[in-house]
Structure 1
Amino acid sequence: MTTAIVVFLTVFVGALLQRISGMGLGLIGGPVLMIFMGPVDGILVLNVLAAINAAMSTLTVRKNVNWRNFAIIASMLIFGAVPAAWLIRVVSPDWLIIVAGTMLLIALSVVTIGKRHVPHVEGTAPMAVSGVVAGFMNTLAGIAGPAITVYATAARWDQRMYAATLQPIFMVSGAISFLIKHFTGAADLSAVNPAVWGIGIVAMILGIALGVKIAPKIPRDKAYNLALALAVLGGITAVARGVIGLVG
């Protein structure tokens, strides 16, 4: 029952904030689901739900998507997903949650504190690199957004286009991360309680529906900052949980 409530609230809030600001489900869901379901099963669930959530969100923002940029980044995701799946197979759960939580905190530091120091970049090479990094981070920790955010900031993407283009990228990254882990044996879908999927999808639909309704009334930057704050709290908790597991 506790896991069901946590999954519902996490996915609902994450989907709501993602519909408003462009990011949210991965940032919030990654650390929370790692803590309550484990770093392998929790991120597997997040990958699937994030892909479905992003597919739904893409339908509502498709007019603002830069499909060329999406194609370049999405095509590179698998090159980061493969080594991440290998790491999942060889690292213990406690170390895995520490690594994933630390990656999240570093990424959040870059997109907040370090954002103002990111130099201007152009061309497809930096865009491709952001796709590789996003694929690695999404497969390991369920967070593709920060890597794309750093590149989008450096490339001076328009905010509306950035938030919209993230959605199909999240859709593809979630699908790739799940498939890579499934076919390499890095994660086992049968280990997840089937009820989790129904609870997650219902929460997601409700979150997106409310997000569509209140998005015009909520400043995008405030929703984004809230998602970042919750992610920092979750990342710190995840690292602490992993450390306690190692020394306990």
Structure 2
Amino acid sequence: MSVTVIILVVAAVFIGALSRATFGFGEAVVSMPLLALLPIDLHTSISLIGLAGLTVALLTAISGWRYIDRPALIRLVIGALVGIPIGLLLVIKLPAGIVTVVLGIFLILYGFYSFMKVTFAKQAFNPRLKASFWALPIGIISGIMGSAYNTHGVPVVVYGTLKRWEPNRFRGTLQAHFLISGVFIVAGQALGGLWTKDLLLLFGFSLPMVVIATFLGIFIHNRIPKEKFERYVFLLLVLLGALLLVNTA
């Protein structure tokens, strides 16, 4: 593996980690399309983003632990544990392109609709998901998508916006969920044979930049006005949906 490829891989991981640390999600959807342009095995890319995401979650969950919605977190994690083994089977059986296209279209439509609604609405909106039950099926979907495609953040992000979590609770709960479920996802990827000989090498080179991206993202997050944070999240969802469709094409 050439030095140029390693540098480009580290750069892709850095951009994804910065997105995750700033907004609480997005590293897989940002980094995976970039890694797909490089001569890197798909399983190596999936596992690398899994390890990088777990590292970011560990560092950011510590700072945001007091903001966590604990009842929702418990249900999300229980659901994820159910969904993770299902996702490991789907990554072998179901073409990733189908899932990617559907997910990309959904993110664009949902992100654009929600952005327009919060931007032009004249009154504040109450939470649209009040029943705590929904955290469990969302967790199952998150576990499936996480172990199969490293996109376990998307369902939880949508759930958090529907619950109308304020920024600190949004980011803190997401990172705690990613930390707990990420341990099982990474372990499942390792036991499922997704780890390759290049993985540890690339992760070793990427680790310092992941740490830098995490603290830079925390710095940026703390300076985003609360009233603008939700709009940025919806715009990022639209961007990530577009990236998914472009990568599939």
For the criterion TM > 0.5, the same-fold answer is yes
1:147, 1:53 → 2: CA distance?
A: 19
Kindly indicate whether the alpha-carbon contact (under 8 Å) linking 1:122 and 1:155 is maintained by their aligned counterparts in 2.
yes
State the match for 1:46 in structure 2: 49
2:57, 2:34 → 1: CA distance?
A: 19
Helix, strand or coil at the partner of 1:189: coil
Flag the 1:224–1:152 CA change in 2: closer, same or farther, 3 A: closer
1:137 aligns with 2:145: yes
State the match for 2:107 in structure 1: 108
Unaligned runs of 5+ in 2: 118-126
State the match for 1:57 in structure 2: 60
Kindly indicate whether the alpha-carbon contact (under 8 Å) linking 1:182 and 1:188 is maintained by their aligned counterparts in 2.
yes
1:236 aligns with 2:242: no
> Match of 2:204, as an amino acid?
G
> Match of 1:160, as an amino acid?
N
Matches within 5 A, 1:190-209: 190-209=196-215
State the match for 2:134 in structure 1: 126
2:133, 2:220 → 1: CA distance?
A: 37
1:233, 1:192 → 2: CA distance?
A: 29
1:104, 1:30 → 2: CA distance?
A: 14
Kindly indicate whether the alpha-carbon contact (under 8 Å) linking 2:44 and 2:199 is maintained by their aligned counterparts in 1.
no
Matches within 5 A, 1:32-111: 32-36=34-38, 37-91=40-94, 95-96=95-96, 98-109=97-108, 111=110
Q: How many residues align?
A: 234
What TM-score, normalized to structure 1? Answer: 0.81
> Match of 1:13, as an amino acid?
I
Question: Which piece of structure 1 moves more, 212-221 or 46-55?
Answer: 212-221
TM-superposition CA deviations, 1:104-125 (whole Å, max 9, x none): 4144235403546xx9223332
Flag the 1:222–1:112 CA change in 2: closer, same or farther, 3 A: closer
2:76, 2:234 → 1: CA distance?
A: 25
State the match for 1:175 in structure 2: 183
State the match for 2:124 in structure 1: none
What TM-score, normalized to structure 2? Answer: 0.80
Question: Which piece of structure 1 moves more, 98-107 or 142-151?
Answer: 98-107
Kindly indicate whether the alpha-carbon contact (under 8 Å) linking 2:104 and 2:242 is maintained by their aligned counterparts in 1.
no
2:61, 2:42 → 1: CA distance?
A: 27
Flag the 1:107–1:39 CA change in 2: closer, same or farther, 3 A: farther
Unaligned runs of 5+ in 1: 241-248
Question: Which piece of structure 1 moves more, 171-180 or 26-35?
Answer: 26-35
TM-superposition CA deviations, 1:28-84 (whole Å, max 9, x none): 123333453343221121112111111111112112112222111011102221121
Query: What root-mean-square deviation, in Å, do the aligned CA atoms of Structure 1 and Structure 2 show?
Result: 2.8
Flag the 1:100–1:197 CA change in 2: closer, same or farther, 3 A: farther
1:153 aligns with 2:176: no
Cα deviation for residue 222 of structure 1 reads 7.0
1:68, 1:134 → 2: CA distance?
A: 17
